[in-house]
Amino acid sequence: MMKRALLIGVAVGVTGLVLAAVIAGPQMLAGYRFMSALDSHYARYDADVGTWPQPQDTCNACHGASGQSQNEQYPSLAGQQASYLQAQLQAFAQGKRHSAQMEPLAATLSDDQIASLAQYFARQTPLRTDTPAADERLSAEGQASAAARGCSACHGSDFMGGATGPRLAGQGQAYLLSQLLAFKQGTRTDPSGAMNATAGLLSPAEAQALAHYLAGLAAASR
Amino acid sequence: MNSEDMSPPTCRRRLLVQALAGVALVGGTGLAGRALAQTVEATPQDVLDVVVIGAGLAGLTAARDLDRAGCTSFTVLEARDRVGGRTVNHQLAGGVIAEAGGQWAGPGQTAIFDLARELEVEIFPSYYQGRNVYLAGDARYEEDLSAAHGNPVTAKLNQLSRQVPSKEPWTAADAPEIDKLSVAQWLTSQGIDNSSRFSFDTSIGLTTGTPPASLALLHYLSLINSADCSMEKLEGFNGGAQETRFVGGSQVLSTRMGESLGDRLRLSSPVRKIGNWDSDIVEIYTDQGLVRARQVIVALHPALCHQIVFEPALPEGRAQLQRLWPAHAPMRKTVHVYDRPFWRDKGLNGQISQADGPLIFSCDNSPADGSVGILSAFVRSAQLTHEAERASQTLAGIFAQALGDEALQFRQYHDHDWAKVDPWTLTCVGAIPPGFLTRWGRYLKPAVGRLIWSGTETADIWASSMDGAVRSGHRAALEALQALVANRRNA
Ligand SMILES: Cc1cc2nc3c(=O)[nH]c(=O)nc-3n(C[C@H](O)[C@H](O)[C@H](O)COP(=O)(O)OP(=O)(O)OC[C@H]3O[C@@H](n4cnc5c(N)ncnc54)[C@H](O)[C@@H]3O)c2cc1C
């Protein structure tokens, strides 16, 4: 145990743990407990993601741990269809879908990396991204809109994704709204044209209601 | 002529003259289409010697140098309604500020310290005395870093960095080999343990905006090379690049430079298109109209250059560099304000690193006199709600676990997510992946036609820091002046 505690931190950095030459008493115990917690944290990584380093490390900042975002501005990847994720990464890499952040990043990935990232995120457990402040009237409007526009035909009856459309349930409200508006304005295009046609019909208020409703849905497990 | 342009020639001419006089014609982006459609009919006296694009530290330094060299015919075009770019101050109560962007400087960063002295901006030491706190799950561990001394892995990095010149890392003798590896791949080959992995992850994530897994070893070595071949100097507080702060906040440097430019600085003038960059008179189209110049200093991050339309298209190498330059290092920085820096009384320095939660790193960002306590934090953007009330409480809970329950009693909270606030930063620092610099690096600095590239990314030393931005501004001004002389001689 002494040796273990002595091993704490051999890197120097802004935050760097250092090699403290003499660690004794309560500090050694705290150090030991901290190291155990760190060891289990990384053991979970190795079991879940793979032997370090993996490209997923780069995704975490904007998509959350295991692809589950907790910020409504950033999309969750957890539990998303692998085919959808793969198609989006390819579209970013080829400049067909626009994002200053994602285009260069996706362009650095090989086809194999894209396929394995897509599969990895697809098998993560999805949760609700962020809880939008309750607004029952808006939710009801959104629900009616989803029914009227036939969203479930592509996105599944529980909006967890269908054969042609991605998971929407529990995505962040701000992200959903930004994408509906991007489809409406044509800054994002759906190869089938379906989303551009549908979103083109939405007023800003209806888009807002839809985003609110979908963001509030629980992410069903598959 | 574009069919959108319905204005008669005289009117168009007036628009142009007004734009050149620095008058905001039409607010907002609605004019973009019109501005793009304008034809050029001005006389040579409407043509400026130099246009500088971007009023960050790089662009403003370049403009200041032009001014001091006696060049009066220039204008700085800035997209935002403020100067400072990646440096910005949150104004807190009582005249206190906290920086949302770049803020620290340290040994070897002589360009920014010289600039501060010239502008009469005072400096003061960062507060880092006392113990750091580390969190993983429920576990909490404190350590005093003043006992820090080198270790074999950093010593090896420092040694390797000697062969990688910060100026042009892609010219290093074994650049092709080094550039195959990410920092993390190299670290695993050194058999590092979990605590080192945590340290490198956090440290490198903060310095470069990307984890070691996707950071090119070549790029990281070039950053270390900038720091006198010392990772300790690059990453450390004590004796390192985080040692010193600017009184009034780093943005003050830009504010002062901007003020002295008067109406030669035009805010809210995003550049959308650059035409004829390969001929004597370049056309710069902004939301506020068209400006023409003999030389253009583009003081922008390469990814921001990519957002501008170039006509004719840029040469392939430069175009690819801009298209592929990584822009995924968005940082989110928060501020909690307390009555006092209470953690200091406990022998803590406010620095907290969390392995598995929303907090990457917090630090004591109180003003020099410690009259109020400020904790600034870098957070993992997607692991913390965007909603201010809940976000501030979540972070305060983490601070409380590390520093004690006083952390729950904060007075104010600020949140700045650089990727979401506006489109004029996109990304913070250099998240360069393996293979990039050896393929595209050589297109970064050479001027193209009348376009001179500036911005911290182009600095020979301390690229990606404020100091590098200042250096790149000096260099760009010299290049522009030399080009003007050469053109006149050839004319
Ligand atoms: C969160 C964070 C923390 C940092 N910490 C530190 C630190 O502690 N120490 C340090 O040294 N560095 C730090 N940095 C980096 C430092 O802030 C930058 O290196 C430096 O400020 C860059 O200056 P610049 O002039 O090159 O670019 P910028 O500051 O990005 O300036 C570019 C300017 O161009 C404008 N612009 C963009 N597009 C257009 C357009 N089309 N038309 C007209 N204008 C346009 C922008 O609005 C901006 O004002 C940090 C950065 C961030 C974001």
For residue A25, tell me if it sits in a domain: yes
Task: Report percent pLDDT > 70 for chain B.
Answer: 90
Helices B57-68 & B251-261, crossing angle to 10 degrees?
Answer: 40
Distance from C-alpha of B36 to C-alpha of B285, rounded to nearest angstrom:
6
Q: Alpha helices of B122-230 — where are they, by DSSP H? A: 152-161, 175-178, 183-189, 194-208, 217-226
pLDDT in tens, A195-205: 999 999 999 99
Per-residue pLDDT at B28: 32
Check: CB of residue B86 under 8 Å from CB of residue B102. yes
Give me the total of CB pairs closer than 8 Å, taking one residue from chain A and one from chain B.
Answer: 231
Token match 């069903």: residue? A220
CA–CA separation, A63 vs B443, rounded Å? Answer: 32
Span from the CA of B169 to the centroid of ligand 1 (angstroms) = 22
Res B20: pLDDT: 31
Inform me whether the pLDDT recorded for B379 exceeds 90: yes
Helical axes B110-118 vs B251-261, angle rounded to 10°: 50
A200 touches chain B (CB under 8 A): no
Q: Atom 48, ligand 1: which residue's CA is nearest?
A: B85
pLDDT at residue B463 above 70?
yes
Residue A58 lies in a domain: no
Q: Is the pLDDT of residue A50 over 70?
A: yes
Tell me what pLDDT residue A91 has.
Answer: 97
* Candidate from A23-37, A155-169, B235-249, B330-344 with smallest mean pLDDT: A23-37
The rounded distance, in Å, linking the Cα atoms of A193 and A213 is 23
Please say if the pLDDT value at position A15 is more than 60. no
Q: Tens digits of per-residue pLDDT, B346-360?
A: 999 999 999 999 999
Residue keyed to tokens 């090989």 = A110
Predicted confidence band of residue B404 (pLDDT cuts 50, 70, 90): very high
B314-338 mean pLDDT: 95
According to DSSP, the residues that pair with B142 across neighbouring strands are B133
Residue B460 DSSP symbol: S
Cβ of B240 less than 6 Å from ligand 1: no
- Asked whether residue A143 falls in the same domain as residue A207, the answer is yes
Checking if the pLDDT of A22 tops 50, the result is no
Express each pLDDT in B261-281 by its tens digit: 999 999 999 999 999 999 999
Q: Does A62 touch chain B (CB under 8 A)?
A: yes
3-state secondary structure (DSSP) of residue B42: coil
Considering only CB atoms, which chain B residues are within 8 Å of A61? 205, 330, 380-382
Give the confidence band of A109 by pLDDT, cuts at 50, 70, 90: very high
Q: How large is the average pLDDT for residues B427-435?
A: 91
Token digits for B144?
A: 């005093």
CA-angle at A217, arms to A212 and A218, nearest 5°: 150
Contact in structure between B198 and A38 (CB atoms under 8 Å)? yes
- pLDDT for position B485: 95
Spatial contact of B49 and B73, defined as CB atoms under 8 Å apart: yes
Tokens 């990453």 — which residue?
B235
Cβ partners under 8 Å of residue B412, min gap 6: B92, B93, B335, B336, B337
What's the CA-to-centroid distance between B460 and ligand 1, angstroms?
17
Distance in angstroms (rounded) separating the CA atoms of residues B67 and B179: 41
Is a pLDDT exceeding 50 seen at residue A184?
yes
Q: Does residue A128 lie within any of the structural domains?
A: no
State the pLDDT at residue A12. 39
At residue B310, does pLDDT exceed 90? yes
The confidence score (pLDDT) of residue B41 equals: 42
When pLDDT is cut at 50, 70 and 90, the band that residue B144 belongs to is confident
Residue position matching structure tokens 């600085």: B265
Contact yes or no for A30 and B353 at CB 8 A: no
Determine the pLDDT at residue B369: 94
Of A79, A96, A122, the one marking the end of a domain is A122
Q: Give the single-character DSSP code of B448.
A: B
* B412: confidence class by pLDDT, cuts 50, 70, 90: very high
Q: What is the mean pLDDT of residues B350-375?
A: 96
CB-CB under 8 Å, A14 with B151: no
**Mean pLDDT, rounded, of chain B:** 90
More confident residue, B86 or B35: B86
Same domain? A141 vs A212: yes
Q: In total, how many domains does chain A have? A: 3
CB B90 near ligand 1, within 6 Å: no
On the question of pLDDT at B175 being above 80, the answer is yes
User: What's phi and psi for B237, nearest 5 deg?
Assistant: -85, -65
Q: How confident is the model at residue B330 (pLDDT cuts 50, 70, 90)?
A: confident
The whole-number pLDDT of residue A201 equals: 96
Residues of A in contact with B144 (CB under 8 A): 20
Answer whether B388 touches A (CB < 8 Å). Answer: no
pLDDT at residue number A222: 63
What is the amino acid identity at position A207? Answer: A
**What number is the average pLDDT over the span B194-201?**
88
- Span B209-215, mean pLDDT? 94
**Burial of A110 per CB tally in 10 Å (0-12, 13-18, 19+):** exposed
A206 and A144, same domain (yes or no): yes
Helix residue ranges, H only, chain A = 2-6, 25-48, 56-63, 82-93, 102-107, 111-122, 136-149, 152-155, 173-185, 194-200, 204-216
CATH code for the domain defined by B90-101+117-246+328-421: 3.90.660.10
Residue B26 has pLDDT above 60, yes or no: no
Q: What is the DSSP letter of B348?
A: E
Task: Find out whether A122 and A86 touch, Cβ atoms under 8 Å.
Answer: no
Can you give the pLDDT at residue A20?
Answer: 44
Q: pLDDT band at residue A25, thresholds of 50, 70 and 90?
A: low
Structural domain that includes position A19: 5-48
Q: Are B156 and B273 in contact (CB under 8 A)?
A: no
Question: Within a domain: residue A100?
Answer: yes
Residues A71, A115 share a domain? yes
For A50-84, give the secondary structure using H, E and C.
Answer: CCCCCCHHHHHHHHCHHHCCCCCCCCCCCCCCHHH
* B393 has pLDDT over 90: yes
The residue with tokens 């704490």 is: A8
pLDDT digits (tens, 9 = 90+) for B115-126: 999 999 999 999
pLDDT band with cut points at 50, 70 and 90 for residue A24: low
| A204 exposure class (CB count in 10 Å sphere: 0-12, 13-18, 19+) | exposed
pTM above 0.80, yes or no: yes
Alpha carbon distance A86, B294 (integer Å): 46
Ligand 1 atom at shortest distance from the alpha carbon of B308? 41
Structural contact between residues A159 and A216, judged by C-beta atoms closer than 8 angstroms = no
Domain ranges of chain B: 1-45, 47-85+249-327+434-490, 90-101+117-246+328-421
pLDDT tier, A142 (very low <50, low <70, confident <90, very high otherwise): very high
CA distance B118 to B105: 16
Whether A155 is in a domain gets the answer yes
Report pLDDT for A42: 95
CATH code (residue A145)? 1.10.760.10
| Cα separation, A207 vs A142, whole angstroms | 8
Indicate the class that CATH gives domain B47-85+249-327+434-490: alpha beta
* CA dist list (Å): B51 to B97, B175, B286, B458: 32, 36, 12, 18
Same-domain status, A16 and A86:
no
What pLDDT digit, counting tens, does each position of B43-70 carry? 566 899 999 999 999 999 999 999 999 9
pLDDT in the model for residue B1: 33
- Mean pLDDT of all residues in A109-123: 96
